[in-house]
Amino acid sequence: MRTNISRHKIRSPFVAKVEELSGQNLLACYQCGKCSAGCPAVYQMDILPNQIIRFIQLGLKEELLKSNSIWICASCMTCNVRCPKGINIAEAIEAVRQILLRKREDHVKVEELSDSERGNVPPIALISNFRKFTS
């Protein structure tokens, strides 16, 4: 993957927005990788949790918005409770998700789910899924 880094991106409104929505000081991350080491979902992610934090620091907005990782993360909080710098990684990922969802770019299209997909699962699954993946 070819990526261009620039001062312009690092100081972009995108970085400020993620920091604001997540309430996290992401520059505190020193890339130890512990968040990714314990994440049960990494085997399906195209950008690992520690890389997500690095990408945010660098303002790599396009790469983050099109990554599958933000939809694979289940906010299980394992990374948060293990980060030696006290960073809430799940909140940072939520912020990136929210930037898309708030533009009405839903990840799950309720009307496209089949009757069996909707009917078999319990309310707790549907409600949490829609809360996380729709606007």
Partner 1 sequence: MKLSYFPGCTLKNKAKNFEDSALCSLKKLGVEVEEISRWNCCGTVYSLTTDDLIHHVAPIRNLIRAKEAGSDRLMTLCAMCYNTLKRSNERVRSNPEDLDIINDLMYKEEIDYKGDVDVVHLLEILKNEIKLENIAKKAIKPLKGLKVASYYGCYLVRPQEIGFDDMENPMIMDELMTALGAEAIDFPHKVECCGAYQTVDKPEIIADRANQILSSAVKQGAEVVIVSCPLCSFNLDQRQKETQQKFPEFKNIPILYFSQLLAIALGCPQDSLRLDLHYIDPKPILKEKGLI
Q: Of 10, 28, 32, 127, which lies in the binding site for partner 1, with binding defined by CB under 8 A? A: 127
Query: Pattern of binders to ligand SF4 over 10-49, x per CB under 6 A?
Result: -------------------xxxxxxx---x-x-------x
Burial of 116 (0-12, 13-18, 19+ CB in 10 A): exposed
Does 65 bind partner 1 (CB under 8 A)? Our answer is no
Helix (H, G, I), strand (E, B), or coil: what is residue 87? Answer: coil
Task: Please give the single-letter amino acid code of residue 106.
Answer: D
Q: Of 76, 84, 105, 135, which lies in the binding site for partner 1, with binding defined by CB under 8 A? A: 76
Q: Of 3, 6, 31, 128, which lies in the binding site for partner 1, with binding defined by CB under 8 A? A: 128
Torsion of CA 81, 133, 65, 47, to 10 degrees: 40
User: In the chain, what is the straight-line distance between the N-terminal and C-terminal CA atoms, in Å?
Assistant: 30
Residues making contact with ligand SF4 (CB under 6 A): 29-35, 39, 41, 49-50, 53, 73-79, 83-85, 87, 89-90, 93, 123-124, 127
